[in-house]
Every structure is written in structure tokens, then in C-alpha cells.
């Protein structure tokens, strides 16, 4: 008689549980834009949600502790002239968030630790380079101030947010709409999926497609993420429109490591991967469940663990970085599920009897310090994330300002070409007038810098006062 052996795994009994009603965020008008992004971004300090807004695009940023009903006049982050399609928190500064919009621009915002009195309308910097809407944003995992954007013009641009410059532009690699972009752990490679059903592995600094293959046969959007083992996990559709997941070895795309059919729902499956536990969580837009799988080196390689089910369908989903979790409760993941009018935290827990810190559940995890500067990464250097221990919990650092240093346009002015004929009324400015203008520009620049320093000092004083009253 054969005896079935149960697979050993510390994550076999992970269970999901919705937070209590008073821990939810109520009365938020979640965006109704038809776009396959998560509409939500979260870090250990703030929760950001794309919301409905008249006359342009907006998102709301709430301190994590501000649960309950949100006032209808709560300040928003506004500035885009068309709907916001994607938002992403900087992994190296919890007060900095980037937003991408249908208006073809990317804006980077500094969020204060205190609640602002009015809408935030002035970004730190606006990045303009795409000719069509921008729907995908992703910060570099290890290099400071490096941000990736992908637009409807089928172009990927990598920016240095600290200077506002384009570091790299990947123009001719995708013949159709880009569905997703993902960095690997040290930011040396990209995995992209495209409407042409092709998954590409790209070395952005060389501007080369390292590998390409057709992962799923269906026409609907695919998603792809790198795993800890160096494999690529994908979600997509079969030719018969069944949802499907796959695991692929980048060195051998002839056969998948694993390929499983799921169901016949038409919602795109958004994969959220935790490299510390090697668990991937699948959240379908329009679904009312979260399915999770453990990826291992043992067949069948992608092991189904469980499903968290609820009654209400999800409009989007936020995924908390590991450093924002409550290690005292053996919490290994936390989601922020968007309903039509609210956001509900969902907590994934490993049941343990001991109250001691569980080393096996919480290996050292990426912290907020970058491993490289933007110029170092661009020159060819790679570095793994700087890790921190969660043994004593994680306390987010206080407000850190992102400083943008723009290059002087006079230093990079192109050489003048052949001069055209000029009439008397079109005569060049005199040397005296030019010197006067330059002096005035210099004086104004010094005045603006002094005002910015004063604003920063006042904001720091306000933060200290707020901390003192908590």
C-alpha cells in the first residue's frame, strides 16, 4: 500500500485574515480608470491610492495610522492634467513617491510627515520624455534616485530623478504595448512582457535583449517577476482564455520549469513576490480571492499553499515591503485591498506558539539604504541590496528630503548653427544687455535657494512639533 508523504514546509499553514473594520480606510473614491495597475502603493509610513478627481488626475496619501473614515476634504496630491495610471514609493526614501499619468508625464513628490492643510500641487520634479501616456513605474532596487518608466509609445526610459536627466532610453525593443516591467534583485536585468506575447530579458545598460520567448499563447496581458532562484515567474492566458501561471529558466526557454492552468476568469493576475519566503501571491483584478504558492527547487516547483477568499471583488491591491510588517505576530505579508469606496488591510500569518522572534521566517531583508549611486550603476557596477535585521522591529526614519540638482542648461547648450539673415528689428542683444540678464538670473536663483532652505527649516520644525505631541 502506497503511503503519501506530506511535503515539509514552514509556510504550509499560512492563512489570511482581513483586519477589523476599524482598521480599514473608509470613504475613499477609488479610481475607475480601466488600466491594469494595482492603483495602490504602500510603505512603512504611508498608504497611497489613486482616486477619482475632476479636471485631472490625483491620488491620496494617508499615514498608515489614519484609519477609519477619511474626510471628503482631505488633501490630495494633484498636478497631473489627466488620470493617474500608476504610483510607486521610492524604496530608499519613504517620503518620496512617483506618479505616472495619461498626460505623458511622470511627477516625483515629497510627502511631509505631517498632514498638509491643502492639496499638494507642486512636485519636486516633472519628467517629460514620453510621447504617449505613461502607465508603468518601477524604482531601481539598489541604486539611489533611479526610476524606470514605460509608456504607450512602447519606450522604456530610465531616469536619474536627482538631476532630472534621462540615463537610458530603450526605444526599439518592443513593437507593441508594454504590459509589465520588473527589475531583478540587483537591478542588472529587466523582464518585460508585451502585447506581442513575448517575454524579453533586457540588459538596459548594454541596450540588448538577452533572451526572448513566448510564455503564454493567449492575447490578454501577461505579467512577469524574477524569483530568488533566478527563474522567471509569469501569469498569462492560454489560447482558450484560461488563466495560466508559469515558471521559466532564463538559460533554457524550450520547456517551462512549471506550467499550470488556473481558471477561466478574465481578470489579469497581478503577481506579488516575496523573495525572503519565495512565496508568490496572485491577485486578480475583479477577483475576490488571493491565491498563494511557494516556489522551491523540488518538483512540481510551484506548490499551491492556500486561498484567501472574501465576498467583495478587489479593484486593486497594495503590497507592504517586509520591513513594514509586525514580526511579533508572525506576519509574513500584508495586502491593502481596494474596494469601490474603501481600502481593507489583509494580513498573512504563519501560526506559531512562541512569542520569540522567528529567525526562520524573517531573514535579513532589503532596507532603505541604497547600495549604489546612479552614476555608479550607469557605469556598470552592480550591488545586492543592503540588508537589515527585523529582530527588533523596524522604525521608519524621519523625513528625508530629496534634493534635485538640475544641470545648468548654459553648460549643455548645443553649438550654434549657421546664422540666418536678420532684419534690423531682429538684431542680437548687446553684450551689456546679456550681462544684465545673467546677473538678474543669478540673483533670482540665490533668492529661490534661500527660500527653499527656509521652507526646509520650517518643515523640520513642524515635524519636531508633531513628533513632540504624539
Residue 220's Cα: distance from chain center in Å?
22
CA distance 459 to 115: 11
User: Which residue has better confidence, 391 or 421?
Assistant: 391
What are the beta bridge partners of residue 449? none
Mean pLDDT of 392-416: 62
Collapsed DSSP state (helix, strand, coil) of residue 452: helix
- What is the β-pairing status of strands 25-26 and 68-69? parallel
Residue pair 317/336 in contact (Cβ under 8 Å)? The answer is yes
pLDDT band at 268 (very low <50, low <70, confident <90, very high): very high
Half-sphere exposure of 264 (CA within 13 A, CB side): 1
What are the beta bridge partners of residue 42? 47
pLDDT > 70 in the chain, percent: 91
CA distance 40 to 38: 5
* Cis before 430? omega within 30: no
pLDDT band at 5 (very low <50, low <70, confident <90, very high): low
What are the beta bridge partners of residue 127? 106
- What is the β-pairing status of strands 96-101 and 342-349? unpaired
Say which residue the cell 523540488 belongs to: 298
What confidence tens digit (pLDDT) does each residue in 79-133 have? 999 999 999 999 999 999 999 999 999 999 999 998 899 999 999 999 999 999 9
Query: Model's pTM, two decimal places?
Result: 0.85
Amino acid at each position: 500500500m502506497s503511503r503519501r508523504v506530506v511535503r515539509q514546509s514552514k509556510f504550509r499553514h499560512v492563512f489570511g485574515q482581513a483586519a477589523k473594520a476599524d482598521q480599514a480606510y473608509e470613504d475613499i473614491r477609488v479610481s475607475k480608470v480601466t488600466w491594469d495597475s494595482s492603483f495602490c502603493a504602500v510603505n512603512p509610513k504611508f498608504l497611497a491610492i489613486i482616486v477619482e478627481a475632476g479636471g485631472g488626475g490625483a491620488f491620496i496619501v494617508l499615514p498608515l495610522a489614519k484609519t477609519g473614515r477619511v474626510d471628503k476634504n482631505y488633501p490630495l496630491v494633484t498636478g497631473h492634467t489627466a488620470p493617474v495610471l500608476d504610483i510607486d514609493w521610492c524604496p530608499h526614501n519613504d517620503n518620496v513617491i512617483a506618479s505616472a499619468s495619461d498626460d505623458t508625464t511622470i511627477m516625483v513628490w515629497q510627502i511631509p510627515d505631517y498632514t498638509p492643510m491643502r492639496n499638494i500641487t507642486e512636485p519636486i520634479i516633472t519628467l517629460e520624455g514620453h510621447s504617449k501616456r505613461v502607465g508603468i513605474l518601477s524604482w531601481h532596487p539598489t541604486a539611489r534616485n533611479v526610476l524606470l518608466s514605460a509608456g504607450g509609445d512602447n519606450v522604456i526610459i530610465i531616469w536619474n530623478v536627482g538631476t532630472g536627466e534621462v540615463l537610458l532610453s530603450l526605444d526599439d525593443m518592443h513593437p507593441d504595448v508594454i504590459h509589465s516591467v520588473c527589475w531583478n534583485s540587483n537591478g542588472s536585468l529587466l523582464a518585460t512582457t508585451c502585447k506581442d506575447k513575448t517575454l524579453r530579458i533586457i540588459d538596459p545598460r548594454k541596450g540588448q535583449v538577452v533572451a526572448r520567448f513566448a510564455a503564454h499563447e493567449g492575447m490578454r496581458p501577461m505579467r512577469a517577476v524574477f524569483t530568488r532562484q533566478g527563474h522567471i515567474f509569469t501569469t498569462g492566458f492560454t489560447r482558450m482564455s484560461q488563466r495560466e501561471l508559469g515558471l521559466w529558466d532564463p538559460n533554457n526557454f524550450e520547456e517551462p520549469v512549471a506550467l499550470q492552468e488556473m481558471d477561466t476568469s478574465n481578470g489579469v493576475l497581478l503577481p506579488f513576490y516575496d523573495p525572503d519566503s519565495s512565496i508568490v501571491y496572485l491577485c486578480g483584478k475583479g477577483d475576490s480571492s488571493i491565491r498563494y504558492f511557494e516556489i522551491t527547487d523540488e518538483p512540481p516547483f510551484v506548490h499551491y499553499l492556500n486561498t484567501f477568499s472574501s465576498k467583495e471583488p478587489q479593484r486593486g491591491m497594495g503590497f507592504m515591503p517586509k520591513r513594514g510588517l509586525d514580526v511579533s505576530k508572525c506576519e509574513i505579508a500584508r495586502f491593502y485591498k481596494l474596494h469601490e469606496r474603501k481600502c481593507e488591510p489583509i494580513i498573512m500569518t504563519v501560526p506559531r506558539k512562541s512569542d520569540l522572534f522567528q529567525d526562520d521566517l524573517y531573514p535579513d531583508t532589503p532596507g532603505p539604504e541604497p547600495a549604489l549611486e546612479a552614476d555608479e550603476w550607469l557605469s556598470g557596477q552592480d550591488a545586492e541590496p543592503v540588508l537589515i535585521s527585523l529582530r527588533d522591529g523596524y522604525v521608519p526614519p524621519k523625513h528625508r528630503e530629496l534634493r534635485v540638482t538640475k544641470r545648468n542648461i548654459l553648460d549643455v547648450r548645443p553649438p550654434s548653427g549657421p546664422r540666418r539673415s536678420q532684419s534690423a528689428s531682429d538684431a542680437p542683444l548687446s553684450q551689456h544687455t546679456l550681462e544684465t540678464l545673467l546677473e538678474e538670473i543669478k540673483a533670482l536663483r540665490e533668492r529661490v535657494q534661500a527660500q527653499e532652505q527656509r521652507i526646509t527649516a520650517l518643515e523640520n520644525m513642524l515635524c519636531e512639533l508633531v513628533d513632540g505631541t504624539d
